[in-house]
Amino acid sequence: MNVILEFLIISIIFLNYYLLSTTSVRNLIKYAAYQGVIAALMPSFFEFHPSALGFMIALISLKGFVFPWLLIKLSEKYNIKYESKSKLLTPLFTSFLFISVFFLSFYLSYKLNFGSNNFHLLIPGSFITIFTGILIIIIKTKTLSQIVGYIVLENGIYCFGVSAFVKEPFTVEAAILLDIFVALFVMGMAVFHIGKEFNQLEVDSMNELKDTIEIIESKEE
Amino acid sequence: MENIIIFLKIIIILFLAPLFLGIINKVKAFFGGREGQSVFQMYYDLFKLFNKGIVYSKTTTLIFRYSPVIIFSLIFFANLMMPSFGMKGLFSFDGDFIFIIYLLGLIRFLIILSAMDCGSSFEGMGASREAWFSVFGELSFFISIIVLSSITGETSLYSMFSKLNLSLWSTNSAVLALILISLFFVLLVESSRVPFDDPNTHLELTMIHEVMILDNSGVDFGFMIYASSLKMWFFASFIANILLPSSNYSFLYGFFAYLISMFFIAVIIGIIESTIARVRLLKVPQLLLGSFSISLVALVFQVFRG
């Protein structure tokens, strides 16, 4: 069982690398969904509680089907295919970011020292996922990518939950899942309204909004 | 007994390395729906080239004249040092993998030097690329061997491969799989195969290995392509040694298992070449960085597991 778990952790780590460096919004959504499904499968390789099956199915259907469906529909509606080009999204820079996050997470989990061997590798894996989520929100400028960053962040927290609270991961996770579910719908509505108002979903363009207000103010003076 | 094995090894290396390329070409032809060239085409080519005269440019020096033979003998020696079918290589000592890596480095140095020596700007370009791409390839190779050494707790190639048994594979399969992927990338980049370089694209601006041997002719050219097929055989037998958990079985079994696994590696390379397109030249370092990070992940995993 441990070997399968290791493969799952490695696949989650490499998915993080891909998520950080890809410029295609559709692939970002798709691979974040794969990551969510893999993370959701994880607890069954520790101790399997039959009572948790319903929760796992709910998690897989939400992260694997409902969220991506919603986001891909939004991306098709506003015709968002690729990230806009920026200096932060070059392959070299994202690789550098990923490698530093990789080492930072392993160092942190080494310092934190959560005993037990089984969860040994899951903790750095979850740290990497959390940091990747944050970095996606920071370096990508499309609103949809930032929502995906939020989902990736949640995947990481879930992995951490699995490793730290393996007896009762579901009470913790249920609360987080409710949060993200509500947040995603709020974000989806916000995106919908932003798209309707400005006809584009580029976060960088929001900076210009402030300037126009200043210009108006200066004119009033 | 040992002498016989070494003799057998010399024969296998010298006579089967060109066949390895033939199998790859046959698989490619099969995927392209063609009859394809004969499996023994490489032998015919070598025979033809070894019967030809040599033309030297006036700008070349001794380096250009001697490097093909030296390169060939060095890679042949590296092949002899590689343990195969569960038997020791010609030499085996603690830390011999470092020696082998530097042997490969010396070969690369000589190829680059002889390419620069003939004074063509075209070949200088290829030499620059070879030097550039090999940085990551060599790093991945080195890290993979370190991980292997850490898993088995041994420091010579023979003892590493002989300790790698099924129980070790079942407990460390994740890390070993990562190393295998990384080593396969190294095999492809070192022998200039498809995702990195296309051996069939003569006289194109994006080639790497083929451009460096453009000015060699006749016997020299024959030695160069023979050396490149031996290099491929070297890396393939490294992978075969990891794949075959070789501890205690009979010599004959190990021998045939080795040959069959080499055949399968050739088929896999052929399938990769016919299904994947060549990567754009500017993207090659990214792909190599990917292979490097795979081996790095394997290393950190291995260290962290303790």
Q: What is the pLDDT along chain B (306 residues), one digit of tens a residue?
A: 778 888 888 999 999 999 999 999 999 999 999 998 999 999 999 999 999 999 998 899 999 999 999 999 999 999 999 988 777 888 888 989 999 999 999 999 999 999 999 888 888 888 988 888 888 889 999 999 999 999 999 899 988 888 888 888 888 888 999 999 999 999 999 888 888 888 777 666 777 888 888 888 899 999 999 999 999 999 999 999 898 866 566 778 888 888 999 999 999 999 999 998 888 888 888 888 888 889 988 998 888 876
Flag whether pLDDT at A40 surpasses 80.
Answer: yes
Residue A103 Cα distances to A20, A98, A107, angstroms? 16, 9, 6
Which residues have a Cβ under 8 Å from the Cβ of A88 and sit 6 or more positions away? A94, A139
Q: What angle do CA B128, B79, B251 make, to 5 degrees?
A: 155
More confidently predicted of B128 and A114: B128
Convert the pLDDT of each residue in A205-217 to its tens digit.
766 666 555 556 6
The whole-number pLDDT of residue B47 equals 94
pLDDT tens digit string along B229-262?
999 999 999 999 898 866 566 778 888 888 999 9
Residue to test with chain A: of B300, B302, B303, most A Cβ within 10 A: B300
- Which residues of B fall within a CB distance of 8 Å from A14? 294, 297
Of B175, B293, B301, the CB nearest to A99: B293
Residue A1 has pLDDT above 60, yes or no: no
Q: How high is the ipTM of this complex?
A: 0.71
Gap between the Cα atoms of A38 and A33, Å rounded? 9
Selecting from B173, B294, B300 the residue whose C-beta is nearest the C-beta of A106 gives B300
User: What tokens does A46 get?
Assistant: 């520790």
CA angle at B199 for the pair B198 and B203, rounded to the nearest 5°: 90
Amino acid B28: pLDDT: 92
Which residue has better confidence, A42 or A220? A42
- Which residue out of A1, A3, A108, A109 would a mutagenesis test of the B interface target, given it has the greatest number of B Cβ atoms within 10 Å? A3
The pLDDT of residue A131 is above 90: yes
Average pLDDT over residues A144-149: 87
CA dihedral A141, A142, A143, A146 (to 10 degrees): -60
Q: Check if A3 contacts B (Cβ < 8 Å).
A: yes
Smallest CA–CA distance from B287 into chain A, residue: A91
Residues B178, A10: C-beta atoms closer than 8 Å? yes
- Over 90: is that where the pLDDT of A160 sits? no
CA distance B250 to B98: 29
Span A164-179, pLDDT tens digits: 665 566 666 677 777 7
Give the number of other Cβ atoms within 10 Å of residue A178's Cβ: 10
Q: Give the chain A residue nearest B286 (alpha carbons).
A: A91
**Residue A202: φ, ψ to 5°:** -100, 115
Query: In the prediction, which pLDDT does A117 show?
Result: 54
Of A3, A95, A124, the CB nearest to B173: A3
pTM for the full predicted model: 0.84
Burial class (CB in 10 A: 0-12, 13-18, 19+), B221: buried
Does residue B61 or residue A85 have the better pLDDT?
B61
Domain limits for position A131: 2-220
Whether residue A43 lies within 8 A of chain B, CB to CB, comes out as no
A3–B178: do the CB atoms touch at under 8 Å? Answer: no
What is the number of domains present in chain A?
Answer: 1
Closest partner CB to A6 (pick from B174, B289, B294): B174
Position A113 scores a pLDDT of 72
Q: Which of A36-40, A45-49, B201-205 reaches the highest mean pLDDT?
A: A36-40
For the ranges A82-91, A132-141, B165-174, B297-306, the lowest mean pLDDT is seen at A82-91
| Count, residues in chain A | 221
From chain B, the residues in CB contact with A121 under 8 A are 301, 304-305
pLDDT at A172: 67
